[in-house]
């Protein structure tokens, strides 16, 4: 299953790249290069400082000593990665996330709610999932996907402005339909592919987290409890919802392809079928 999810990620990144090259055919490589530089700079800044930004956004405070930190330390040793910093988010909503640009600069954040809602084994399953994200370098993969999708969206915006102000006409030789697709459809496709990458990494973290503790049932039980909770995060941003182990804002996508997370029921079913 790990191989399938990694191949899926590779294929989806390839599709994003192909979409980017197709977009580039409208503007030539000079216009594409400008968009790439602008979006790359923005995403690199975000990638480099994302952990600090998101931890501050959720009012997280570093935990110096607590049972949850000992669990993280134990699991990090088992996973053969550096010990990440551990933070507590002052919220009753049960949830958790991992952040950081690399295993050497990583952090795991848990809410007060998750510490009281889960048993020790369930919490161990959640933490193993988050450490799997760190070991898989999912932040880096998501940043690459964000850069490509961002360039596509930026170029599409340029196309819309060009169309609005009469930058394209008959001289383009009947490429009006293609231009419309570039301006409207390609950003949507890019977002769909980007979210598909996010969902594939969640499945992979589920599997590798369960493998780390040699049991899929604790994480499956934890996910069922988190999904059934009616307590929502009252601060933060929906833009960061994909970071969490389950969507903290409980918003359900009208279309499955626009969901930041896989279906919890599917994740639970997969976890319960795992054996070691």
Distance between CA 218 and CA 145 in Å, rounded? 31
Q: Which sequence positions are flagged as catalytic?
A: 130
C-alpha span between 147 and 116 (Å, rounded): 38
Q: Which three-class secondary structure state does DSSP give residue 111?
A: strand
CB under 8 A, 24+ apart: contacts of 121-124:
121/218, 121/221, 122/218, 122/219, 122/221, 122/222, 122/225, 123/68, 123/71, 123/222, 124/71, 124/75, 124/213, 124/218
The strand order across the sheet containing 96-100 reads 61-62, 85-89, 106-111, 96-100
Tokens 């980007």, residue located = 194
φ, ψ for residue 13 (rounded to 5)? -65, -35
Note whether 27 and 183 are within 8 A (CB): no
């Amino acid at each position: 299953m790990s191989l399938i999810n990694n191949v899926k990620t590779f294929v989806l990144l390839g599709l994003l790249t192909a979409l980017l090259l197709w977009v580039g055919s409208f503007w030539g490589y000079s216009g594409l290069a400008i968009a790439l530089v602008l979006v790359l700079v923005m995403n690199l800044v975000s990638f480099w400082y994302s952990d600090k930004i998101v931890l501050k956004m959720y009012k997280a405070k570093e935990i110096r000593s607590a049972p949850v930190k000992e669990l993280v330390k134990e699991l990090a040793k088992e996973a053969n990665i550096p010990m990440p910093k551990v933070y507590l988010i002052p919220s009753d909503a049960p949830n958790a996330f991992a952040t950081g640009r690399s295993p050497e600069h990583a952090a795991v954040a848990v809410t007060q709610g998750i510490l009281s809602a889960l048993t020790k084994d369930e919490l161990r399953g959640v933490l193993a999932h988050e450490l799997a994200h760190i070991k898989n370098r999912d932040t880096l993969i998501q940043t690459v996907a964000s850069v490509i999708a961002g360039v596509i969206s930026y170029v599409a915006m340029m196309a819309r402005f060009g169309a609005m102000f009469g930058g394209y006409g008959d001289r383009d030789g009947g490429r009006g339909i293609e231009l419309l697709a570039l301006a409207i459809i390609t950003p949507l496709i890019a977002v769909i592919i980007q979210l598909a990458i996010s969902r594939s990494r969640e499945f992979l973290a589920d599997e590798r987290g369960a493998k780390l503790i040699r049991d899929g049932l604790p994480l499956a039980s934890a996910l069922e409890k988190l999904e059934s909770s009616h307590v929502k995060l009252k601060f933060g941003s929906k833009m960061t919802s994909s970071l969490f182990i389950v969507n903290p804002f409980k918003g359900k996508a009208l279309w499955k392809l626009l969901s930041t997370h896989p279906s919890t029921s599917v994740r639970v079913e997969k976890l319960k079928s795992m054996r070691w």
